Each structure stands twice: as C-alpha cells, then as structure tokens.
Amino acid sequence: MNDSSMLSDELHEYWSGIANTFQWRKKWDSLQTGNFDECNVQWFNGARLNITENCLDRHLEKRRHKKALIFEPNNPNEAAIFYTYGELHLSVCRFANLLKSKGVKKGDVVCFYMGMTPELMIGILACARIGAIHTVVFGGFSPQSLRGRLEDSNAKIIITHDGGYRGDKVTPLKSMVDEAIENLSFVETVLVVKRTHTEIQMKQGRDYFYDVLIKECELFCPAVEVEAEDPLFILYTSGSTGKPKGLVHTTAGYMVHVGNSFKDVFQIKENDIFWCTADIGWITGHSYLTYGPLLNGSTTVMFEGVPNYPTPARFWEVIEKHKVTHLYTAPTAIRSLEKFGSDIPESFSMKSLKVLGSVGEPINEEAWQWYHKYVGKERCPIVDTWWQTETGGIMISPIAGVTKLKPAHATLPLIGIVPVLVDEKGREENAMVASGNLCIKYPWPSLARTIYGDHERFKLTYFSTYKGLYFTGDGARRDEDGFYRITGRVDDVINVSGHRIGTAEVEEAINEHLLITESAVVGFPHEIKGQGIYAFVTCNDDLILPEVLIKEIRATVEKVIGPIAKPDVIQIVHSLPKTRSGKIMRRILRKIVENDLGNIGDTSTLLNPECVEDIIKGKKS
Ligand code: WTA
C-alpha cells in the first residue's frame, strides 16, 4: 500500500495498525500521500466512512445504556442531564433530520454560536452525520467577529441560543447573531435553542425555534458515507498576521489520531468519567470533550459554567458529584483557583480522580506543583499536553502513569510524531540537549489540510519558514532525557488565559478608534492569565482625558473582537520605537514590558531612539 510518501515503513505500519481499530465503510487505497513541501498531505485516500458511526453506532451493542454525556449546568441548583449512548445517538439523528429539513446537505457549512449545552455537541455530531461541515464560533466573540467568520465560511445556517449562561452573566447570543447577520443575504436560517428565556426578536421565514421543529423530526437518520479527505469542520484561530484563519480538518485523519491519542495519553478505562473543561468553541473542546471520548465509548462531562461561579469550589464539587476520574483543564484555571488558597481543594477528597491534564499554554512549575499536591493529592499523574488547533490532536505529552513526570515539561512526542528543533536558519539541532524552534518532520493524520479558501496562506504560514518541515510557531527546549519543554510562541501570537490572540488583530481593532494614530501590542507575563495584553498607542488628540481614551479603546476592542481581547494595560505614548524604514520595533517593547531592560539592545540605530526612555518612564506595572 506504500506510495510516494515520506513515511518510514515503521511509521506506515504504526498508523495503519491504529487506523484498523476504527470502523470503515471501505478501507483506504493509500495510507498517506503528499508532503510538506508541496503542502498536499493526505491520509487514507480511497477510504469511506462516517465519523458518527465510530462515535455512536458502533457502541450501541455494548454501551447503549452507558452514559455518553453528563451535562452539568452553570447553576449548581439546576439538575445535571445525562445522555446514554442510545439517547445521544437518537438525539444526533433527530438533529440531523432537522438540519436536512432546513435544506442542509453534504458539504454545506453550518455555524454554531452557542453556550455550552448538550445541543451544541449534538448539533456538531448531527452535521457530521450528514456530511455537513461544522464551524463553531466561541460565544465570547463579538458580533463583528462572528460576521467575519460567517463571511469567510459562507455558512447559510446558524444555530444559537436565546441567551447563554456563563457564571453570573447572561450573554444575549440571539441578538448578537441578529447584529452579526444584518444584511448578510446568504444566511437563510437561524435556529434558536431556548436556554435563558431572554426576550428576543424572531424574523419570520428566517428564525425558528429548535424545540418546535425537533418535535417533527424522525428518530433515525442514516449516516452519510463520506470520503476520508472530506472536511469535517472549520475552526477559526488567530495567527501572527491578518484576520483569523479557518483551519480545515478532514474526517478520517482527524478521527484516527484524536481517537487514539485520547486513549493513549489519558490511559482511559471503560468506567472512567472524563472531564475536559474547555469550551467547544476551541479545538480542545472538539477533540477531547467531544470526538476523543465518544470515539472510545467513554463518558464525557460537559460543563456550562466557569471555575469560580458561584464559588471557587465549583470544580471540586463537580468532580465529587460526578465521580470524575480525569480532569483536563488549562493552567489559567489552575492559577485562578490557586489564588483562593489550598484550603478549598483540601476540603474535598476527590478520591475518584486518577489523572490530571493540562493544555493550552505553558504550565509554570508553581501551578504544576499546586495542581499535583492539592488537586491530585500527589497520587495522580499530570499530563502536560502540547498541541495546536492545526495539529488536531495531542503531539507531545506524557502517557499517564507511564512517562516519568517532570513539572512543566510536555515530555515526549507520542508514537508516530517526530518533532525537531531548528535554529534560525532551519538547521536541525541534533544534540539531545538543545533549544530552538519547534517543527514536525513527518506528516501525521490529524494535521489540518488547509486554510478555508486560502491554501496559499496555509502553505506560507506553516511550510515555508523551514523547508520540508511543519513550523509550529512555538519555541522549545530539549533536555538530557529528550524531554521537551515548550517555552511559548516565537511569533506575534500571544496566549491569554490559554486563548490564542494575534497581536496584529488587536492592533487593527485599536486602530479603529478615531483618535488613535498607531498602536503596538505585545504580551506581558501575567500571574493568572499566563500572558496579558499590553497596548502602546499614539493619539492624535490631546484634548481627551487619558482615562477616557483608555476606556474607549477597551470598548472598541471588545466590539471588534470580543471581551477576551481587551488589553489589560494601555499606555499612551508620544511615539513608538521605529527602524529607519518605519517598522515598529515590537521586540524592544516586549523587553520593556517583561522588565528585561538589560536586553533591549542597541537603540541608537532607531529613527527615534529618545522615545525608548520615555516609554520606560511611563510604563505601567
Ligand atoms: C500553546 C490549544 C505549552 C502553544 C490545544 C501552541 C502550549 C498554542 C501547550 C496552540 C502546552 C498549547 N504547553 N504551550 N501543553 N498546549 N500550548 O491552537 O503556544 O488554541 O502553539 O490549541 O497553545 O493553541 P491552540
């Protein structure tokens, strides 16, 4: 079956062995084709399947009455909802029939802008059932951001809530959708799932209530057979330049690596209860809240709320209530709970817990130790999993209970994944102990295949920096055990509370404010969020009070992108440091906000060296 691929016989054998554990309508003709240079990697060509048969139907015989999904609402006084595999299968079929009744066909894009309720998971699986492509937009993005993603993906149907709960807030999702789609003629249908019973406007002939339509839907929907390389979903993420890019994941490759990595990394057993706290609006919620657990017939917990509502004991209560065995969360959540002291988790035994996971950003050693001691009671291994929206699934991570633990290290690549460290020129660092830019050497099945509508940008972003390699955008160090420690992004992407934000995007948003001439945004070390957003701005009007301007800038960013991108610190400056050719020297600004003044370097060649001193003097701690 081997062809012109770059895979060694060993890798070839490994991946085909894994793929054989899934259910196919027809197996592949070639395991893998294409390469990074030509940016045309494909997997399992010729194969035909439906991922929901792997997530649902194939479990029905043995696990029909086993819990597939546990839904824990935002409000602890509201009852949890349980779906068995049988019930989830039925719900997905009915939702799929509803989509069909609204004209959704194979290959159509369906957009979800929802809070975290079961209908979101059921909805994306319903898309997969009929070969439609789901694109989930995180409910924390603004209407303007949603509009941009709709314009890019051409989704003609949107599924939303009247309102979404998150902590003590109600987000008016439906009215945000109304704002986003004003005059967008290609949007034909808005489907509203009732949740908060907030008052909303319904446009006749366009807007429908889910609970009314679902009653008319039949209970079974046959799974549509798709090709291995048919798209499963588009997920937007930020890069160092331009607007967010819609990464496209295809069906078979994504399924194979996500399903298998879930089982391996977390060492899942039949009766385990897996809780991934991520929102489905992010890749972690796609891969390890939805697809990974369901592909393995596991029980997955979905939580609508936030860690500190109504109290900072909420996570620990959920763990005890549902006897969670695996907790998979982000360092930001850990740090934000650490702040309330160890007494709170200490008062819970959490004896069901077996494995802890971390994802989304580097975990600092202190947070690792706290997580290990107070949550895992020093008996649960921590898997620090490194991966990206682009990689689809986990790439570098300990295997729970197997790999030696080293705080703050993602440790070793999973089998089948071959990372390399390269220097600036792209030369591979061959010594065991090394540091450099992290690249991946060979194709793996769940690599994103393209940026929706812009293959050239895909090629340029990931495969042009270093010839023949996939470039991750992260820096890393490798120690004497071969263990990797991810040191963070080396490009203009920052990681705020585990959310990826492009500094260029924030600058663009700030510049929409009428009084702003220029801005430069950099990340700074933040105790809870990992990185915070620091914006330097120049203003063309000195009649406005700085505090008023700062408030307005924050509101502008919230309107353009959403609350998650609001700068933590805004410093108004006379000018920004520039090279003689007019390029803003963000490197200098980064050193200033990191308090690393010794490493600012030579500023004498700048166009305006005097501004550096001014900026340092005016720096806000
Ligand atoms: C960062 C999230 C250190 C990294 C799954 C990466 C991490 C970006 C880790 C991707 C980790 C993710 N240790 N850094 N364990 N996991 N990152 O696309 O900078 O939202 O490039 O995917 O998060 O973020 P994304």
Q: What is the pLDDT of residue 147?
A: 97
pLDDT value at 3 more than 60: no
Q: Is the pLDDT of residue 114 over 60?
A: yes
Helices 143-153 and 546-560: crossing angle in degrees, nearest 10, is 30
Model-wide pTM > 0.75:
yes
Read off the pLDDT of residues 216-267 as tens digits, 9 standing for 90 and up.
999 999 999 999 999 999 999 998 887 899 999 999 999 999 999 999 999 9
Residue with tokens 């998971």: 121
Q: Which CATH code is given to the segment(s) 496-618?
A: 3.30.300.30
Q: What percent of the chain has pLDDT over 90?
A: 94
d(CA 588, CA 602): 10
Query: What is the predicted pLDDT for the residue at 260?
Result: 98
Which is the closest atom of ligand 1 to the Cα of 363?
13
pLDDT digits (tens, 9 = 90+) for 46-74: 999 999 999 999 999 999 999 999 999 99
Any atom of ligand 1 within 6 Å of the Cβ of 359: yes
Residue (of 7, 31, 15, 4) closest to 442 by Cα position = 7
pLDDT at 241: 81
Does pLDDT of 595 surpass 60? Answer: yes
pLDDT attached to residue 5: 41
Mutate to test the pocket of ligand 1, among 235, 236, 245, 361 (most ligand atoms within 8 A of CB): 361
Q: Average pLDDT of 294-308?
A: 98
pLDDT tens readout for residues 441-459: 999 999 999 999 999 999 9
Residues above pLDDT 70, as percent of the chain: 99
pLDDT in tens, 162-189: 999 999 999 999 999 999 999 999 999 9
2 pLDDT above the threshold of 90: no
Q: How confident is the model at residue 21 (pLDDT cuts 50, 70, 90)?
A: very high
Average pLDDT, the chain: 96
pLDDT attached to residue 240: 82
Protein residue whose Cα sits closest to atom 24 of ligand 1: 388
Pocket residue to mutate for ligand 1, from 387, 394, 405, 471, most atoms within 8 A of Cβ: 387
Note every long-range contact of 568-571, with CB atoms under 8 Å and residues 24 or more positions apart, other chains counting.
Answer: 568/524, 568/526, 568/529, 568/532, 568/533, 568/534, 569/524, 569/532, 569/533, 569/534, 569/535, 569/593, 569/620, 570/534, 570/535, 570/537, 571/534, 571/535, 571/536, 571/537, 571/615, 571/618, 571/619, 571/620
Q: Which residues have C-beta within 8 Å of that of residue 437, sequence separation ≥ 6? A: 421, 422, 423, 424, 465, 466, 471, 472, 474, 475, 476, 490
Instruction: Write down the pLDDT at residue 243.
Output: 86
- What pLDDT shows up at residue 540? 85
Confirm or reject: Cβ of 370 under 6 Å from ligand 1. Answer: no
CA of 359 to the centre of ligand 1 (A): 7
Give SS3 for 91: helix
pLDDT (tens digit per residue) in 568-587: 999 999 999 999 988 999 99
CB-facing half-sphere around the CA of 452: CA atoms within 13 A: 28
Residue type, 573: V
pLDDT in tens, 450-495: 999 999 999 999 999 999 999 999 999 999 999 999 999 999 999 9
pLDDT surpasses 50 at 507: yes
- Residue 61 CB burial class (10 angstroms; 0-12, 13-18, ≥19): exposed
Tell me what the mean pLDDT of segment 519-547 comes to: 93
- According to DSSP, the β-strands at 207-209 and 355-359 are unpaired
Q: How confident is the model at residue 604 (pLDDT cuts 50, 70, 90)?
A: confident
Predicted pLDDT of residue 6? 67
Residue 473, ligand 1, Cβ within 6 A:
yes
Pairing of strands 434-440, 419-422: antiparallel
> Whose Cα sits closest to atom 10 in ligand 1?
388
The pLDDT value recorded for residue 544 is 86
Please state which of the four CATH numbers 3.40.50.980, 3.40.630.40, 3.40.50.2300, 3.40.50.10440 is assigned to the domain occupying 83-224. Answer: 3.40.50.980
User: Does the structure show a pLDDT above 70 at 4?
Assistant: no
Residue 122 CA, ligand 1 centroid: distance in Å? 26
Instruction: Give the pLDDT confidence score for residue 620 in this predicted structure.
Output: 83
Q: Which token pair is 531? A: 């990185």
Any atom of ligand 1 within 6 Å of the Cβ of 385: yes
Look at residues 445, 337, 341 and name the one whose alpha carbon lies nearest to residue 21: 445
Does the Cβ of 489 fall within 6 Å of ligand 1? Answer: yes
Lowest-pLDDT range of 120-129, 294-303, 421-430: 421-430
Measured in Å, residue 495 CA sits from the centre of ligand 1 at: 8
Helix (H, G, I), strand (E, B) or coil at 10: helix
| Pairing between β-strand 273-276 and β-strand 299-303 as defined by DSSP bridges | parallel
Picking from 95-109, 127-141, 430-444, 533-547, which range would have the lowest pLDDT averaged per residue?
A: 533-547
Ligand 1, closest atom to CA 385? 15
* Residue 508 backbone phi and psi in degrees, to 5: -60, -40
How far does residue 361's CA lie from ligand 1's centre (Å)?
5
DSSP character string of 277-342: -S-TTSHHHIIIIIIHHHHTT-EEEEE-S-TTSS-TTHHHHHHHHHT-SEEEE-HHHHHHHHTT-S
- Structural tokens at position 271: 């009766």
Ligand 1 atom closest to the Cα of residue 389 is: 18
Find the mean pLDDT for residues 319-346. Answer: 97
* Domains of the chain, residue spans: 83-224, 496-618
**Residue 1 CA, distance from chain mean position:** 34
Provide the pLDDT for residue 299.
99
Q: In a mutational test of the pocket of ligand 1, which residue from 484, 500, 503, 531 has the highest number of ligand atoms less than 8 Å from its CB?
A: 500
The two three-digit tokens of residue 8, written as one number: 């060694």
Question: How many angstroms separate the CA atoms of 297 and 34, rounded?
Answer: 32
Q: How confident is the model at residue 131 (pLDDT cuts 50, 70, 90)?
A: very high
DSSP assignment of 134-165 equals EEE--TTS-HHHHHHHHHHHT-SEEEEES-EE
What span, in angstroms and rounded, lies between the C-alpha atoms of 78 and 321?
13
What does the pLDDT average to over 497-513? Answer: 94
Give residue 1's pLDDT.
35
Instruction: Name the DSSP letter for residue 226.
Output: E
